[in-house]
Structure 1
């Protein structure tokens, strides 16, 4: 059991450490980041119950609806909601990168708790595959969400609505495409999902670079 929990949490902790250490400026306390991680972890349980209820009622039968609304829409909306109302409105952002740290922490809290539950059901043999796909993808969606929220906090107030909208819409689109690939492509899926993951990493890392640039 200890080995399973360790295997489930290790990818999330490693990714959070990576993005935390990429920050080039003095930033937030560890306690605040841990708080965001715990908030994300607690979010798993109501989301999974809601998704189970929707699947049981066959609300989203079409695969694209299931991908973009039943999974991506629900998960990214609630992560966005908590990031905005529990963190953004009450925590001082010293730079745009702070948004990325909090977004990644919350998303990885969600992904890590979800990973524990999946490994308990599927076994530790699936740990490597889940580390490279679901856990890392959640981290990258969190980077994107946090970047745009950081822009909303530190950029021209006149563009607030644009940045806040992008912080929700872009992660939903990316997450929806990711899930749609896994739902609809059953043969040679790795030839599609691996290039998409490279794109996600490139897109997310380009946001981290921009976030670390001093604003004019």
Structure 2
């Protein structure tokens, strides 16, 4: 099995990092203009939709039709790379603004959760890329909806002041289980794809 070109993965990471700027700018404007007054809509729904949509859009525009996106497993690699690029840059901003303690905590939760959301997104991107015509749009929609739902749940848990820590632990365990399951399924799809292409 050929490894994915490092240059393309690095580009995916960089694209993810660069999209942090428009996302944070939009979030800043919305907050300062008080365009969304309800805390749940602002901190949970709007934030989740904005971040996952931009990650999804980056993959769709710049990577989905790329010649090196040539097997189902690639979706996971690119999804994780874009998400890690975004999470890394976001964490740098928090480090500069709030110090090392906040950055360390964010490295444990938001950075890992973004990567896992990216795995789920990438899994469905890979399914869409190599699915039969009648399934492509369905999987493409799932590549946005599935990580978005997970992100909304994650952000919702963080709003439970005082006992969010008791909820986030089982959710993160579930997220890791789900992501690893998708990785195994993607690997199975890859083997099947290579077999159909007479490469193994």
TM-score, structure 2 normalization: 0.91
Separation (CA, whole Å) in 2 of partners of 1:71 and 1:215: 37
1:76 maps to 2:52: yes
Query: Deviating runs (4+, > 4 A) in structure 1?
Result: none
Whether 2:130 is the aligned partner of 1:154: answer yes
Q: What residue in structure 2 maps to residue 202 of structure 1?
A: 177
RMSD of Structure 2 on Structure 1 (CA): 1.4
Distance, in Å, in 1 between the alignment partners of 2:81 and 2:94 is 20
CA contact (8 A) 2:13 2:81 kept: yes
CA distance in 1, matches of 2:43, 2:136: 28
Q: Aligned residue for 1:134?
A: 110
Q: For the Cα contact (< 8 Å) 2:94–2:103, is it kept in 1?
A: no
CA distance in 2, matches of 1:133, 1:124: 15
Deviation by residue 1:159-216 (Cα, 9 ceiling, x = unmatched): 0110000000111111011111112x01121100111111111111110010000337
Paired with 1:35 and 1:55, the residues of 2 have a C-alpha distance of 31
Equivalence for 1:179? 155
Give the Cα–Cα distance (whole angstroms) in 1 for the partners of residues 146 and 35 of structure 2.
24
Structure-2 separation of matches of 1:114 and 1:138: 11
Query: Relative contact order, CA 8 A, sep 6+: which one is greater?
Result: 1
Structure 2 unpaired stretches of 5+: 194-200
Query: Aligned-pair distance for 1:67?
Result: 4.0
Are the equivalent residues in 1 in contact too, given 2:55–2:83 (CA < 8 A)? yes
Question: How many Å separate the matches in 1 of 2:26 and 2:180?
Answer: 32
DSSP 3-state at the match of 1:176: helix
Distance in 1 (CA, whole Å) between partners of 2:103 and 2:30 is 27
Compute the displacement of 1:68 (Å). 4.4
Output the CA distance in 2 between the equivalents of 1:206 and 1:151. Answer: 14
Cα displacement string for residues 76-114 of structure 1 (whole angstroms, at most 9, x for unaligned residues): 001101111111122333321100000100010000001
Alignment partner, residue 167 of structure 2: 192
Q: TM-score, normalised by structure 1?
A: 0.84
Alignment correspondent of 1:212:
187
The CA deviation string for residues 47-99 of structure 1, in whole angstroms up to 9 with x for no partner, is 00001111122233333322443211001001101111111122333321100
5+ residue gaps, structure 1, are: 1-24
